A and B are shown apart, each in its own frame.
Chain A
Amino acid sequence: DTAVSQTPKYLVTQMGNDKSIKCEQNLGHDTMYWYKQDSKKFLKIMFSYNNKELIINETVPNRFSPKSPDKAHLNLHINSLELGDSAVYFCASSLNPTDTQYFGPGTRLTVL
């Protein structure tokens, strides 16, 4: 049973395109997150939703738009992709905003 899953695992696309990454968790958690891990392996929070409500929105270009249709899903849509968006994007979930976070397998985005 996969606890936190993401699709796709790999995404290769051209600059200027729009793409989406999907995340689902079957842990019954209330809180979900998107993190970006850059080429230097630094893991940084982008967004967090608690019970479908946005609670964290770090300094991220507004080309990035998260959407949470329900507590078990958190998607990330990226418009007008740029070279600098190339990274691994991790989804995570936790029981509540201060509890242990469990990570999905990651989506490696490459923008050409």
Chain B
Amino acid sequence: QKEVEQNSGPLSVPEGAIASLNCTYSDRGSQSFFWYRQYSGKSPELIMSIYSNGDKEDGRFTAQLNKASQYVSLLIRDSQPSDSATYLCAVMGTGRRALTFGSGTRLQVQP
């Protein structure tokens, strides 16, 4: 079992719709969770971090964490073509001092 799993996609949504990206992780003791966005040929850039169960909102982005079910999700409201990118879920595992990344979900927002 991979430590951090994501559906590779592509996830295709129409412009203006809500895009929902999901991530599951295997280390039950993980405490820190991050979503990064990576455009083709570019470096990962941080979108959201979340540490507690529940929702965290920042503009059009909402991160959701459920530690009991070991999943973290990212919702993008009013999706724009500029949101088309690969979204990487990253988890800081128990006692670890480095992030474990999922393989990423490619999002395509159709104009």
Contact = CB atoms under 8 A, between A and B. Distances in A.
Interface of A: 31, 33, 40-45, 48, 50, 55-56, 58, 90, 97-98, 100-106
B104 A45 contact: no
Nearest to A33: B98
B26 interface: no
A11 B45 CA distance: 23
A71 to B, nearest CB: 16
Contact of B97 (A98, A100, A106): A98
Interface of B: 32, 34, 36, 38, 42-46, 49, 86, 88, 92, 97-101, 103-104
Contacts of A31: 97
B49 A100 contact: yes
Given A98-B32, A101-B99, A90 B43 contact: yes
Given A98-B32, A98-B92, A45 B44 contact: no
Interface of chain B, main secondary structure: strand
9 contacts: A31-B97, A41-B103, A42-B103, A42-B104, A45-B99, A45-B100, A50-B97, A97-B97, A103-B43
B43 A105 contact: yes
A89 B99 CA distance: 15
Nearest to A106: B43
A58 B96 CA distance: 12
B70 to A, nearest CB: 19
A56 B97 contact: yes
A105 B32 CA distance: 24
